[in-house]
Amino acid sequence: MPIQLDTRPKSWTKPSLEENDPIINQFPFFIRDKVDEKTLKMCSVIRWFIIKEVIPKEAKYYDHGTTTAERNCIVQNLKDKAQHEYYIGHMIYGTRSKYAHDNDDLFINDYNTNTNGNPSSDTAEFNGKQPYSDSSFASTYAFKKPVFKLSPLEYGVLLQIMGVSLLSFQVIPIVNLQNKDFNSCTSINNMCAVNLIYRHGTKEQIEKYLCSDNFYNFKFLISEENCNSSDYLNTQFNIKLKKKELVLSGNKWFIPDVFNNNVQTGVTNNSTGFDTNQCKNNVHASNENGVNNTKNCWLLFGVTENTKDTSIHSKHSIVLLDEEMVHRDNLQIFQLFHDDVLNSSYYHLKFDKVSIPFDEKMTLLSTRGNGNNLLIEKTNLSKIYNSLLIIGLTQECVNRAISSSEDKIKITNKNTKLVKSDYFKNTLAEHKIDLENCKNSCYNALLKYQDFGRTNDCKMEVAMCKYMTPLKCCKIIDWCVQVHGGSSYLSCNSKLFQSYDYVRKFRVDEQPDEFLLSSIGKYEINHANKMFKTLKDLNFTDSFKK
């Protein structure tokens, strides 16, 4: 009998995570050709970095016995690893550069303008292509700094991958808007603000906030103490125009991180105490000489049209306000509380007739009375992004529940592990279906927004996403806690409660479920009535008769 030679390679290695579970499997099939290959490679590296480096540090970071200095040390060590061992900062910048031309200058072509010579989202056309495509644009404006490097869809993909760990948002610089500086990072609010300014801002606003050497952190000042952000039409904050200045009066409540990160600012921690040495420990952007050039810009939402004849939907405007423009004499700032999970502080701001200079081309975003439409667009986009984030967070909780079930024995049959029981498998399958439906709904809304450029064109998709995602994710995470049982109270599993708390807060900030369901039903009724009317005009009404 002939000798059987071993044809296997002599140097066999275990398959990598990417080989066993390709990153593309994390996303719905219908968006796979919409995401750039470089972005997928970057997501693969980020996923491995989070699994190997970030998640093992979470238990120590969120432990109540860990001091602030120890937490800062953990964050700094992870930042160093991300930059020097995984090269994540350079990868993100390189991925974003694919939308730029000529040394990272972005040239925006064939951008129609309105009658005032300002960019108009209603008349913007790009020769049949979206502003996020790789094609070059002919030039109405030539900007010397990059504006967009990731499309809204690619940003959503990143958020889903990073949502696995809330700590990752403190150590990975997602969508850096400022040159090659690794330390800068951008929040969801920043991304939404950039979209609004890019689509609705004047040429001067775009050049200042998106294309200058300064890195701007955008803060939305919307909610009030007796009026949350989902009930913004009832806001009482007043903005009066007097000659060449705006006078601001009112309160803004529960505003996260309103300060410039590098400025020591006097903050009232409670009604009696005053701390002049408080400053945040975040890392900020620097220019080539090492000088900090991070600035804050507040997007202030308030009432500008007080006439009785004005519709409630046309009374509000958004003001772009640089932090250094505000005189602190008539501004009181109270710190409400500090969130250890997100390393964020929340504030209460009291404006007592604060005056700021008014510039027709710089102060107001879009036109007077258009604040409602701008805020709807911002809110819808941020809710989609947050939904994708909590989907990633929920998937990690499900993975932990599966791992925990491997060690648990069924009560009814002590010879069978929980993971092998039919009940566990059926419940897990139901939750997986819910999670996939939420994911499909979010990406469907995001893709439609990217194609049409306005969230008004995908209102039903956004409403479905806002209603279904936090509701289902809360239910799934609650089941994961139940699977862990008493071990969920251990510090190593504290992430389960933190995840539930984060998702529940997201649901609290949203409009009531009944309102969202009513909006979806109203949209469906209007759509059906239009179809009935069309069929009636064409004399095709017999099919609807009983």
Cβ burial of 163 (10 Å; 0-12, 13-18, 19+) is buried
Question: What pLDDT sits at residue 253?
Answer: 87
Higher pLDDT, 141 or 48: 48
Nearest to 305 by CA among 252, 221, 359, 235: 235
Three-state DSSP state, 257: coil
The alpha carbon dihedral of 61, 67, 71, 77 has a sign of negative
In this prediction, residue 147 carries a pLDDT of 41
Q: Poorest-confidence range of 286-290, 313-317, 359-363, 508-512?
A: 286-290
Q: Is the pLDDT of residue 275 over 70?
A: no
Q: Let me know: does 285 contact 219? Beta carbons within 8 Å.
A: no
Angle of CA points 187, 189, 190, to nearest 5°: 65
Quick one: pLDDT at residue 228?
66
Nearest to 387 by CA among 500, 503, 499: 503
For range 48-62, the mean pLDDT: 91
Question: Could you please report the per-residue DSSP string of 377-434?
Answer: HHHHHHHHHHHHHHHHHHHHHHHHHHHHHTT-B-SS-TTSBGGGSHHHHHHHHHHHHH
Integer Cα distance of 301 and 318 in angstroms: 5
Stated as kind and residue range, the H or E segment containing 253 is strand 245-256
Burial class from Cβ neighbours inside 10 Å (0-12, 13-18, 19+) for residue 249 reads middle
Q: Angle at CA 318, nearest 5°, toward 314 and 323?
A: 160
Least confident window among 15-29, 106-120, 198-212, 327-341: 106-120
501-544, pLDDT tens digit by residue? 889 888 877 777 788 888 899 999 998 999 888 888 887 765 55
| pLDDT higher at 327 or 73 | 73
Strand partners, 251: 350
* CA distance linking residue 339 with residue 518, whole number of Å: 33
- The amino acid at residue 419 is V
Domain ranges of the chain: 21-106+143-185, 214-284+293-365, 373-511
User: pLDDT digits over 113-163, tens only?
Assistant: 333 334 333 333 333 333 333 333 223 333 333 344 678 898 899 999 999
Higher pLDDT, 27 or 512: 27
Percent of the residues in the chain that have a pLDDT greater than 70, as a whole number:
75
* H-helix or E-strand spanning residue 178: none
441 vs 280, more confident: 441
Cα gap 427→256, rounded to integer Å: 37
What number does CATH give the domain 214-284+293-365?
2.40.110.10
The residue written with tokens 């008004």 in the block is: 456
Task: Please give the residue that has the higher pLDDT: either 124 or 8.
Answer: 8
| Residue 35 vs residue 282, higher pLDDT | 35
Q: Average model confidence (pLDDT) for the chain?
A: 77
Q: What is the pLDDT of residues 377-411, one digit of tens each?
A: 998 899 999 999 999 999 999 999 999 888 877 66
Comparison of pLDDT for 232 and 40, the residue scoring more: 40
* pLDDT surpasses 70 at 169: yes
May I ask the CATH class of domain 373-511?
mainly alpha
Place of tokens 């007592």: 352
